[in-house]
Structure 1
């Protein structure tokens, strides 16, 4: 892997990828006539040295910086409204999302809300709300600091209702970042448990995209390459991180997000309610559920599992081997096999099954998933 230079990809967003890419941010802003960015991040990242260094560098280059970080780890509508109010009060000219999926989703939703002031969920893609995204949006830049959601290259934001906990999708090509600055150095200090969980999120995106029922051979190829990068790098990135392993995981994360425009599936529908109802980290929720969801999908799709097994370089090229690999990988990463170990109990199962069945992801699963299927999967994983 070539690590001694910064690479540029256009897919279609311009991606500046490589160690040190973050140093290009002040010059990029100046070249585009921008000097008053709103930096959107989460409260943990806002206190970290690398984030403070980014702010200091921007200020040293004569930028007026305002930081908004008052967001939940599983973002809700009120987070977006608070961030939009900060935009209004401080005369900003651009939005820079810095962080993992939560920060990037909130930043993208703020970008939407700035010039689209009706109820945020009017723009929910699941009810055709994308047709109302008609106005211009602020200049938007994304800077990922985790290797999981790949939100930096996306066109959508997932935001939950504060009351019902149901997740909504805000979608429009207008919401794609003008540029992604993907610097793997920013992921180097990520704790092992977050690296593991976000890495399993990236793997889930790639696997579910590959299995999704829509025909999209371009995404299939990207997904398989992403699976191969996770195979090579996730354990090392978690337990003995170096720049190469962290770089591969950052690439795998972006590839998963590009691939899942094809669709996701049962695993994400199992995971989303855990985040909205129990505030479980999204990557961890995917990690615990992925072996069970993949097992559910084997029958009828053996050829797809054979291709994934081959990409994972497994001795047996079948679905059972893929499921066993996922259990083994979780064990190596210190991720539990059972939902009870992450706070789920019997009293949650019916509500989780209701929310999972109402979720937007499983209609693209290769086979239909009923509410009873979801309940059975939760019970099996419990």
Structure 2
């Protein structure tokens, strides 16, 4: 397959994929009679040359751009309210989310809030709030800049409470982008540590989706192919990036996000509290925890692990071989093996275990996870 060529996929969002595909953005806006987009991104992306080029290109085509980037690394409700104020005060007609998970989550939450003005967390999917998402939403476009969360193809946003740090899920099929411009060239300059952390996040999505207990053979097939693409490209994308490696990572990331509509599991429930309590990068939290979470899941699910091992081309098709592969991969991409190396202390364990047990991801894990299980997993990983 040529990664120089632009391809189109519809699943169900239209995905325009390929090198320089972001240059199609001005023509797309004009075709849809959109002249005043609100671009939502994070403060880091807003400073990067490629982002400034995108904004400049739009302005050259007489498109009146407004940029909102005043958001946290782990987004909170007040970020969404501030962004909605910018929408209200500047007469926008569409929203373009550019970035990784944080920027795209805030963009999607603003898309919801524009025509749904009750308290944002009334729409929390975990309490059935999706039934209140009844109004139209603005035209929404996504442009991913990392290969991690796959938020560009998602239909939910994870936003934390400013005070309690508890994560809420805003969900509705209405929140899917109308079109995704997935340009691997935008991911070429991501530093190695971020490439590593976001890449392991994408791998976690695919692995946990395959293991999740719901029956969804379509997602299983996508998850296996996503794992294969990441297996073929992550180490190179971190240590010696080229267009092929970056393209495969971007595809594998989107596939993980499509697959995990089936559910996630124990690894994400271990990772989420690290972000909310200690502000740990979500991908890094997943990366350190995934070997331990996968080891927990082996017994009773040997057949699933055999399929994973075969996809990863491991000489032994066992769960233990998969766990060793994950430790080895982390070593190759310079991810630490222990939580103590990313700022976790023994005094955090009890609170982390409480938060993990309250988390929304593990009910879809293939086997039940108790609070004591979470405590022991954290201690083992420490």
Show structure 1 runs of 5+ residues with no match.
Answer: none
Residues 1:357 and 2:367 aligned together: no
Residues 1:75 and 2:78 aligned together: no
SS at match of 2:43: coil
Residues 1:163 and 2:163 aligned together: yes
Superposed, which structure 2 residues align to 1:202-351 within 5 Å?
202-351=202-351
Shift of 1:4: 2.5
Distance 1:338 1:237 in 2: 23
What's the TM-score once normalised by structure 2's chain length?
A: 1.00
Shift of 1:352: 0.6
2:28 matched to which residue of 1? Answer: 28
Shift of 1:5: 1.4
1:119 matched to which residue of 2? Answer: 119
Distance 1:351 1:78 in 2: 25
Residues 1:18 and 2:18 aligned together: yes
Distance 1:165 1:310 in 2: 39
Which digits, 9 at most, give the CA deviation of each residue in 1:19-48, with x for residues without a partner? 010000000000001010000000001011
> C-alpha root-mean-square deviation of aligned residues, in Å?
0.4
Shift of 1:244: 0.3
Show structure 2 runs of 5+ residues with no match.
Answer: none
Distance 2:77 2:292 in 1: 31
Distance 1:304 1:16 in 2: 32
Shift of 1:8: 0.4
Distance 1:161 1:323 in 2: 34
Name segments (4+ residues, structure 1) moved above 6 Å.
Answer: none
Distance 1:171 1:136 in 2: 14
1:200 matched to which residue of 2? Answer: 200
1:129 matched to which residue of 2? Answer: 129
Shift of 1:3: 1.6
Distance 1:248 1:269 in 2: 27
Distance 1:359 1:168 in 2: 10
Which digits, 9 at most, give the CA deviation of each residue in 1:48-103, with x for residues without a partner? 10000000000000011100000111111111011011111101000000000000
Distance 1:252 1:98 in 2: 19
1:96 matched to which residue of 2? Answer: 96
Shift of 1:341: 0.3
What's the TM-score once normalised by structure 1's chain length?
A: 1.00
SS at match of 2:169: strand
Distance 1:327 1:168 in 2: 31
Distance 1:375 1:53 in 2: 47
